[in-house]
Amino acid sequence: MLTGAIGLITLLVISVTSLPSVATSMSQKSWLMVQRAGLVAIILSVLHFAVLKWSGWFDARNWYNGIPPGTLVVTVFVVFVFLMRPVARIFGKS
Given this model, what pLDDT does residue 15 score? 92
Task: Give the integer Cα–Cα distance in Å for 91 and 89.
Answer: 5
**50-92 pLDDT per residue, tens:** 888 888 888 888 888 889 988 889 889 988 988 898 888 888 7
Cβ(73)–Cβ(46) under 8 Å?
no
**81-94 pLDDT per residue, tens:** 888 988 888 887 65
Task: Give the integer Cα–Cα distance in Å for 12 and 15.
Answer: 5
The residue extents of the domains of the chain are 2-90
Q: What is the DSSP string of 23-61?
A: HHHS-HHHHHHHHHHHHHHHHHHHHHHHHHHHHHHS-GG
pTM: 0.68
